[in-house]
Chain A
Amino acid sequence: MDIDRELELALRRVTEPTRGAEEAAAGRVLARLESSALPSQKRRLFAAWWPSALLDLNFMPAWPRVTALACGTALGVLVGLSSLGSRIATDLDLWHRASVDDAGASIFDPDSVTGLRP
């Protein structure tokens, strides 16, 4: 007989459960389990539970990105509160405060031909 086939047959015979001994052992294990008080169960904490619930819905937060977004938001609020933006714009001469004269001049310039004001 081919040795591979011989091995297959031997493996099936060897790994076959031995009925009698296992019944007795099963009885002992079940008796021990049922005679003693069962320990308390480990419940799922909310902190451990909600990421997996989000994961089920494909809404699992990508924590590095959430952190980057939070940092960006906090930086924006700080810059806004400190008026740093307007100071930098002034320093760089990026804006002009409109004066009343400027506004009047642009609207009521005298006519170049007649010299009359509208």
Chain B
Amino acid sequence: MGGPADHELMARVARGDGQAFSLLSRRHVRAALSLARRIGGNDAVAEEIVQEAFLRVWIHAPRWRPDAAFRTWLYRIVVNLCLNERRRAPVLPLAAAGDPADPAPGPDTELAAQERDRVVATAIDALPARQRAAIVLTYQDGLSNAEAADVLDTSVSGVETLLVRAKRTLRAALAAYA
């Protein structure tokens, strides 16, 4: 990652520097969108959530303290907005099913893998919101359990419990398919 570090940019954002804010949002928007899409399960809502999250970053920047990484704070805002959104208006997971299987003839193993992925994706979307968030933060964003705990505002053992429960459900779904 080139350019100034996140905390330097945040110090400038706290002084009202719009250019630093633009740089910061360009740096993190893709990861934030990806996270919001997986947890929210809806592309259009994910865009709104990420926009709202960045606006909150701008508004609260003067109060931000670099106790934790900026990314962790941003993810926490995104996750909380997603959970609030899901609580308010549960949406049908349109993207959950993933892309339809390629109808062109292909190796059986590849088709089977695609089908397994579809089953797992559907099962992820059916998980309770916090379990889904733990899975996405850990696998998609590669966060450690401690970082995921910061984002989800829980303890490391709390994240481990969420992951164990989520994997148990996913394993059962996969076993049922097999």
A101 within 8 A of B: no
Partner of A41, one of B29, B61, B170: B61
23 contacts between A and B (CB under 8 A): A6-B174, A7-B120, A7-B170, A10-B113, A11-B139, A14-B98, A14-B120, A14-B121, A17-B34, A22-B30, A23-B30, A25-B43, A26-B33, A30-B22, A30-B25, A33-B22, A33-B54, A41-B60, A41-B62, A42-B60, A42-B62, A43-B62, A44-B63
B55 touching A39, Cβ below 8 Å: yes
0/1 string, B21-60, CB within 8 A of A gives 1:
1100110011001100110000100110011001100111
Tell me the bound Cα distance from A44 to B64 in angstroms: 10
B47 touching A25, Cβ below 8 Å: yes
Q: Using a CB-CB cutoff of 8 Å, which residues 27-64 of chain A contact chain B?
A: 28-30, 32-34, 38-44
Where the two chains meet, the residues of A that have a C-beta atom closer than 8 Å to any C-beta of B are: 3-4, 6-7, 10-17, 21-23, 25-26, 28-30, 32-34, 38-44
Most central of B30, B59, B98, B178 by chain A CB within 10 Å: B30
Where the two chains meet, the residues of B that have a C-beta atom closer than 8 Å to any C-beta of A are: 14, 16, 18, 21-22, 25-26, 29-30, 33-34, 37-38, 43, 46-47, 50-51, 54-55, 58-63, 98, 113, 116-117, 119-121, 124, 135-136, 139-140, 167, 170-171, 174-175, 178
Chain A residues with Cβ below 8 Å from B124 are 14-15
Number of A-B contacts (CB under 8 A): 95
Tell me the bound Cα distance from A112 to B51 in angstroms: 105
Chain A residues with Cβ below 8 Å from B175 are 3
Closest CB-CB distance, B132 to chain A, in whole Å?
A: 11
Closest CB-CB distance, B16 to chain A, in whole Å?
A: 6
Chain B residues with Cβ below 8 Å from A33 are 22, 25, 51, 54-55
Chain A residues with Cβ below 8 Å from B43 are 21, 25
Chain A residues with Cβ below 8 Å from B135 are 11, 15
Chain A residues with Cβ below 8 Å from B37 are 22, 25
Chain B residues with Cβ below 8 Å from A26 are 29-30, 33
Tell me the bound Cα distance from A29 to B167 in angstroms: 33
Report if A42-B116 is in contact (Cβ < 8 Å); known contacts: A10-B174, A25-B47, A33-B25: no
Chain A residues with Cβ below 8 Å from B120 are 7, 10-11, 14
B117 touching A10, Cβ below 8 Å: yes
Closest CB-CB distance, A93 to chain B, in whole Å?
A: 63
Partner of A42, one of B46, B50, B59, B178: B59
Report if A22-B34 is in contact (Cβ < 8 Å); known contacts: A3-B175, A6-B116, A7-B167: yes
